Amino acid sequence: MERRRPPQTEEGWYVLHDFRSIDWDAWRAAPERRRERAIEEGVDYLEASEAVGDADEGDSATFAVLGHKADLLVLHLRPTLGDIDALERRFEHTALAEFTERADSYVSVTEVSGYMSEDYFDEDSEVEDAGLERYIESRLKPEIPDGEFLSFYPMSKRRGPDHNWYELPFDERADYLSNHGEIGKDYAGRVTQIITGSVGLDDFEWGVTLFGDDPTDVKDLLYEMRFDPSSSRFAEFGRFLSARRFPPEDLGTFLAGERVPAEGEESHPHASGDAEGHHGGSGGHHHGDDSGSSHGDESGGVRDELEDEGIYAGQPHGEDVHAVVLYSTADPDELFEEVDGYRENFDHYDTHVKTAVYEAQDADSETAVVSLWDTDRAANTAAGFLAELPEVVRQAGDDEDDSWGTMGMFYTVEPEHRGDFVGTFDDVGDVLADMDGHRKTDLLVNREDENDMFIASRWDSRDDAMTFFRSDAFSETVEFGRDILADRPRHVFLA
């Protein structure tokens, strides 16, 4: 009898969906001092969990559950089951726990499988697609998305007499999943998912957690997927639970029966800034002015240094929009078609400023995808989707430790002076070629607007780049640009 080949899997962080019901009769009957203590200790627990002070990596979030199935959901992701177990016990020691009962829970672990990339599991093969590597890392160590609405459900693959998933050949299963995934791409920027494995850990085989700002986007996605054979023939579902995210400091507001998050507040307590902090890996995007990335004190020090030299270096960190910049070796036409599909979905959001494809003038150089957003949160979400673009080789800011990058964006050239600008770039390129520490400089042009360009350079070190910025050639270029550019350029620094 033939035994079907199971896909290999690699596991990442463990996940606990902890659903709690409030004993509202006990809450109303409790004296004020007990309620105040419960709120205080509850907020401390939830804030400490979301700050991940208990582990080296991970994430947590707090939700108000809709409907009768529970009242609270605390979602935890941690590197080990021991971390998860300690969080459960720690909650039971809070005064808030005295007013709750566990309504439900689900234990699982993040995973990637051979359906995604068999080369990833082949010891003799190297995964050369940097975009795929980042995507796999994001699946194993995901950041909880910032969408206000959450939908969670467990599922298994059917093993019936007519349709048995586990009797199908590997290639056929892979095709089903690939086609299923194509549906999700139409919801890029609107719905984000965390899929976790739970074979042997809980009652079903997987847990699916979907996040979005508009609940109807989640509904539409799930409805459309019902018609895909991967679901219609082979999926068995558990019950669905829906919830809304709120910051821990709103716990008292929640228990008082008032709206959470409080009117006018962000639903995510980290939305205003520290997107990296406690998470594993990079935050997936870079802050700065409306042109790209700026890395904290490092960038600020460079800006100050340039200002002392009388050189304009853009707005300080965080005062303008947020950006993600990725580089791909894919065919520019194919890449543009993929990006255009994402852009149609991004345009549903008021926070979306611009997403464009920039082609290098050197045919051997990479094509850049730039996506600009009004908020840190939106840029981070977009970065997760754009990382799935074909043949992504790197993301600005995630470069090698032995090099340093600068990016000048956006140079909006007066149409009648475009030839002058390109000619000057060529002249400066000749100067750069002779400079110590210079590796490469590319001029990239927006394929939809030839007058919109940026310049990206790689250097051996920051000091090498600063030598150029102090040079007469750079000063003359800046002075020349004032006469031919429609807007003031910004010089953005990537660590």
Q: Is 120 a catalytic residue?
A: no
Is the peptide bond preceding residue 261 cis, with omega within 30 degrees of 0? yes
CA 196/CA 218 separation, integer angstroms? 18
SS3 category, 297: helix
Number of Cβ atoms within 10 Å of the Cβ of 462: 19
- Estimate the crossing angle of helix 215-226 against helix 170-185, to 10 degrees: 150
- Please report the DSSP string for 451-471 in residue order: EEEEEEEEES-HHHHHHHHTS
Rounded distance, CA 357 to CA 340, Å?
Answer: 9
- Residue 470 has a CB neighbour count (10 Å cut-off) of 13
* CA dist 279 → 336, 394, 483 (Å): 31, 20, 45
Phi, psi of 50 (to 5 degrees): -70, -25
Exposed, middle or buried, 61 (CB in 10 Å: 0-12/13-18/19+)? buried
Q: Between the CA of residue 157 and those of 7, 63, 153, 230, 232, what are the distances in Å? A: 14, 28, 13, 9, 11
Contacts of 418 (CB under 8 A, 6+ apart): 450, 451
- Token look-up 């590197």 returns 79
- Say which of 135, 153, 342, 358 is annotated catalytic: 153
- Name residue, tokens 């995808």: 369
Side chain identity at 110, as an amino acid letter? T
- Looking at residue 348, the DSSP 8-state letter turns out to be T
Residue 377 has phi, psi (to 5 degrees) of -60, -45
- Residues with a known catalytic role: 153
